[in-house]
Structure 1
Amino acid sequence: MVSYASLGKTLVFLDVETTGLDTKQCDIIQLAAISGDRTFNVYMMPQVAIDEGAMEVNGFSVSDGALLLCGRAMPTVTLPEALTSFLGFLWSLEQPVLLAAHNARHFAKPVLDRALLRCSLNWQFQQLGSRFLDTLPLSRALHPGLDSHSLVNLLGYFLRRHYNAHDGFEDARALQDLYNCWNPRQEIVDNFLY
């Protein structure tokens, strides 16, 4: 497990793939998280249509009642099942946990909050007492001279690695690897917690 020892928290890197970019309307298609060698990854059948732009970026589509990723059918669970399993995953880790996501504040957190509320699981999530770390502004603060702070560019720049971007699990793993490479000081990280 990745520990943020100075705060006494376990770091959990997460990513969501969705039907679009509108946080008030999009559905979660994939929810993935990683903490050290502990992993979580589920797919859900969306209740709203996948935007054309989202399809081009993440490769998800729906056909004949199946969720497809680059044309391959993926096993799905319902949103309540996915979120209940995710909460179980978080509770299985050393408490408390700190959830880290790239663009957490403006995308991952609002999407996850809305889904938890929709499934009446927001209270259970709040019991974790988890805070979020947004690694996008953290990256900008740590490395202001970079032209792009996308995960793809950051992973290529710092780790000389390319990966299957916009796959939720691969994005979460890339973020964990980047964070470990950066090893930022607590006083900097504290500016991006909420």
Structure 2
Amino acid sequence: MATTGFDTKKCHILQLSAVCEGRDFNVYISPQREIHRCASQLNGFTVSGGELLLHGYPVTTRSLGQALKSFLAFLRSFPRPVLLAAHKAQGFNAPVLLRVLGKIWLLKKFRQVVSEYVDTFPLSRNLFKHFKLPSHSRKYLVHHFLNKSYDAYNAVEDARVLEELFNHWNPSWDDIWSVTYTF
């Protein structure tokens, strides 16, 4: 997820992505508020003439409602209950997503599809606590475990490498459930 800023109570979603079983979901959302300068520097999103740009190139956007409804349709295409995973989900992604879903009256429908979420940040800390890794950022973990770099602030790339990391780690169900939270 790419957002207009860093405050979970105020920021809006600009890009929402998911990857599962070789299928990608990616949508750009018309910004509902100004993009914070620091967020723009990280994720590459700007607005010019009312149009959302990614690294200076226009992207096709949808309204927040259209984007979230299509995200729900994507999630419904998988066996239920769906378990979402995100890095730092507990502190950022989940609060933002829940807030915007509630704002447009889709939270109940979302909870009918998605049961819980896994936060891969504490998962990495739990799995590798004896290795004394210098960082548990996605970027570091991707470099360390997968020996590659990627566009760390592109939501679809984040989803792809997170799935790859998760599969590489192959955590036990006990490890997964220890960092699983209910929406």
Band of TM-score, shorter chain: over 0.9
Which of the residues 51, 63, 66 maps onto 1:78? 63
- Per the TM alignment, residue 138 of structure 1 is displaced from its structure 2 partner at its CA by 0.5
Q: Which moved more, 1:167-176 or 1:90-99?
A: 90-99
Q: Deviations over 1:89-118 (max 9, x none)?
A: 000112211000000111000100011011
Change (3 A) 1:51 1:129: closer
Residue of structure 2 equivalent to 1:179 = 166
Could you tell me which runs of 5 or more consecutive residues in structure 2 were left unpaired when the two chains were aligned.
Answer: none
SS in 1 for 2:62: coil
Q: For the residues of structure 2 that align with 1:98 and 1:182, how far apart are their CA atoms? A: 17
CA contact (8 A) 2:17 2:25 kept: yes
Question: Alpha carbon RMSD of aligned pairs, Å?
Answer: 0.8
Residue of structure 1 equivalent to 2:8 = 23
**Stretches of 4+ moved more than 4 A in 1?**
none
SS in 1 for 2:178: helix
- Per the TM alignment, residue 40 of structure 1 is displaced from its structure 2 partner at its CA by 0.4
Residue of structure 1 equivalent to 2:80 = 95
Counterpart amino acid of 1:140? R
Matches within 5 A, 1:1-194: 16-144=1-129, 145-194=132-181
Identity level (%): 47
Counterpart amino acid of 1:170? E
TM-score normalised by length of structure 1: 0.91
- Per the TM alignment, residue 163 of structure 1 is displaced from its structure 2 partner at its CA by 0.9
Q: For the residues of structure 2 that align with 1:180 and 1:25, how far apart are their CA atoms? A: 33
SS in 1 for 2:53: strand
Q: For the residues of structure 2 that align with 1:70 and 1:51, how far apart are their CA atoms? A: 15
- Per the TM alignment, residue 189 of structure 1 is displaced from its structure 2 partner at its CA by 1.2
TM-score normalised by length of structure 2: 0.96
- Per the TM alignment, residue 129 of structure 1 is displaced from its structure 2 partner at its CA by 4.5
Could you tell me which runs of 5 or more consecutive residues in structure 1 were left unpaired when the two chains were aligned.
Answer: 1-15
Q: For the residues of structure 1 that align with 2:114 and 2:151, how far apart are their CA atoms? A: 32
- How many residue pairs end up in the alignment? 179
Q: For the residues of structure 2 that align with 1:169 and 1:19, how far apart are their CA atoms? A: 16
- Per the TM alignment, residue 193 of structure 1 is displaced from its structure 2 partner at its CA by 0.5
Q: Deviations over 1:129-153 (max 9, x none)?
A: 4201000010111112111111111
SS in 2 for 1:162: coil
- Per the TM alignment, residue 36 of structure 1 is displaced from its structure 2 partner at its CA by 1.6
